[in-house]
Amino acid sequence: MLNLRKKILVAIDGSPQSDKAAEEAVRLAVGNQTQLKSRIFALLVLPNSPTSTYTDFVPAAPMTETKKWNELRERIFYVVEKYATEHDIPLEMIVEYGDPADRIIALAKREEIDVIVIGSSGKGFIQRKIKGSVSHKVASNAACSVFIVRG
């Protein structure tokens, strides 16, 4: 079996499940013992627009343009950045806006990703039917392998 460099996409949202997915993504990259190192793409998908209330008269600035963004970004990407640095794995951190499942699938296609690593919140049947499941949508529609990490 050929074991060439892999492009690994990990979905990040700051939750414990995404932290576990980040750890697994780094393990996958470290397990590839060739001269060509695997590369990790860590993707954070933010909502298209912030939730507004009837008292909002001026649209809010996008999350990435707020004063708290750098602190928040560091917290969300902390685990994947820490493990990738410890194991000398190339890491690209990406922030996009939109539907999480759609953005994950689009980035995987655009970058020709070999495997997507994503955490599962373990929602019950009813919650999954009402809210949907990002991991289920990604697994059902991605053109590459999907590694679902259970929390």
The answer to whether residue 129 is domain-embedded is: yes
The answer to whether residue 40 is domain-embedded is: yes
Strand partners, 12: 44
In the chain, the amino acid numbered 63 is M
The answer to whether residue 74 is domain-embedded is: yes
The answer to whether residue 1 is domain-embedded is: no
| 19-59 confidence digits (pLDDT tens) | 999 999 999 998 866 667 789 999 999 877 555 555 555 55
Q: What is the CATH number of the domain that holds 140?
A: 3.40.50.620
**Residue 141: which domain range?**
7-50+58-150
The answer to whether residue 133 is domain-embedded is: yes
Residues sharing a CB contact under 8 Å with residue 54, sequence separation 6 or more, in sequence order: none
The answer to whether residue 2 is domain-embedded is: no
Q: What is the pTM of this model?
A: 0.81
The answer to whether residue 18 is domain-embedded is: yes
Phi, psi dihedral angles at 123 (to 5 degrees): -60, 150
| 124-150 confidence digits (pLDDT tens) | 555 555 556 888 899 999 999 999 998
Q: What's the number of domains the chain is made of?
A: 1
